[in-house]
Amino acid sequence: MIFSLYASGAADDDSWHNLSRVTRERYYTVVDRKLNCFTGHILAVTDRAITLKYPDASTITLVRNNVLRVSVSQAARFASHLRADVDRVDNVIYNDKSSWVDIKRIAPHENVRDVGETARVVKKDGQQYQGQLVRVSETELELERPAGRLTIAKADIAQVYYLRYKPLTDSEKYSAQEDFWPDPRLWPYYLHLSVKIPVRLYDSSLPEEDTPLRCEYDPKEKASPRLDCFSGNVQSIDLPKVTILRSANRTQTLQWTEGTSIREGAHPTSIDQLEIGDYIIACGSVENGILVTKRVTVNK
């Protein structure tokens, strides 16, 4: 099945080539310009189209000009028909939608992250700059680079690319979700040695569209909340709250719940085994400056 062509105003970019470089041992969700969503393994990619293979071995081909976004879907331990949250920026591997709001989403947020994701900014005069986002306003953005911070006005920007790591395979993702850090396949990611791929999120030549993306034909699709993570040494324990000491002598309060999963390395443990000085990585959601923990990894 091949969908008809839709005109796209996008300037050519290298994000489409990501589709032929990423692992095929993973489910992906393709969103077309009518917001129909299709999930399967990538079977083939050409300069003009992408072909997905469904779990029942049937296939579907979508013409490039009809593709709005391609996102990484759930790992294999979940039912294969479950699609990605296509509005989450960190799921995206190809994007033909220009959104300044998406740039803000990969920037740091107060009391959550010190620096944002890595971005490549292409100015209208052709100059390119790469660094970590530290601030994004309505009129400009700021990059942290080895040479120092650089502020660039939105009016001077042609494109902004999000430089993200290549997606893990289904089995690698499951291992990462379960905090199996000894898995050698994950070491390049933990050590920040894995290859990054560019995903264009903003293009001044396209109409700016900040409306959240949803699979139009499935109103049951729900957005998965993004987890915030902090790491540091345990400074005090006053259950259900724990305080950790982060870098630059900053502290962060964590709150345990009945649903908090805690592991020491790859093995389950309990909060009773936590000691002052233990190094932990805690992920969850920030509420009023306190991280309500969902999962915690302890290193003695």
Q: Does pLDDT of 252 surpass 90?
A: yes
pLDDT (average), residues 241-264: 89
Q: What is the mean pLDDT of residues 55-70?
A: 92
- Give the range among 75-79, 140-144, 197-201 with minimum mean pLDDT: 75-79
Higher-confidence residue of 9 and 272: namely 272
Phi–psi pair at 77, nearest 5 degrees: -65, -20
pTM of the model: 0.62
78 — pLDDT class (breaks 50, 70, 90): very low
Which residue from 69, 66, 128, 133 is spatially nearest to 99, judged by alpha carbons?
69
Instruction: Please give the residue that has the higher pLDDT: either 247 or 197.
Output: 197
Do 136 and 242 lie in one domain? The reply is: no
In a domain, 158, yes or no: yes
Q: Tens digit of pLDDT for each residue in 89-138?
A: 989 999 999 999 999 999 886 544 566 899 999 999 999 999 999 999 99
Closest CA to 162 of 20, 13, 49, 62: 13
Do both 93 and 127 map to the same domain?
yes
- From the list 95, 155, 148, 146, the residue with the least C-alpha distance to 123 is 155
**Per-residue pLDDT band at 8 (split at 50, 70, 90):** very low
How confident is the model at residue 189, as a pLDDT? 57
Q: Report the pLDDT value the prediction gives residue 238, as an integer from 0 to 100.
A: 94
* 41 and 184 both lie in a single domain: yes
Residue where one domain finishes, among candidates 203, 220, 249 = 203
| Residue 27 predicted with pLDDT over 90 | no
Asked if pLDDT for residue 140 goes beyond 80, the answer is yes
Q: Tell me, yes or no, whether 263 lies in a domain.
A: yes
- Residue 173: per-residue pLDDT: 53
Is the confidence at residue 21, as pLDDT, over 70? Answer: yes
Mean pLDDT of all residues belonging to the chain: 81
What 207-212 contacts at long range (C-beta under 8 Å, 24+ apart), as own/partner pairs, is: 207/9, 207/98, 208/98, 208/99, 208/100, 209/97, 209/98, 209/99, 210/99, 210/100, 210/101, 210/102, 212/87
Provide the number of structural domains found in the chain.
2
The residue ranking higher by pLDDT, 268 or 202, is 202
Which domain does 116 fall in, by range? 14-203
Regarding whether 179 and 46 lie in a shared domain, the answer is yes
Tell me, what CATH number does 252's domain have? 2.40.50.320
Specify the DSSP class assigned to residue 72: E
Specify the pLDDT at position 228: 80
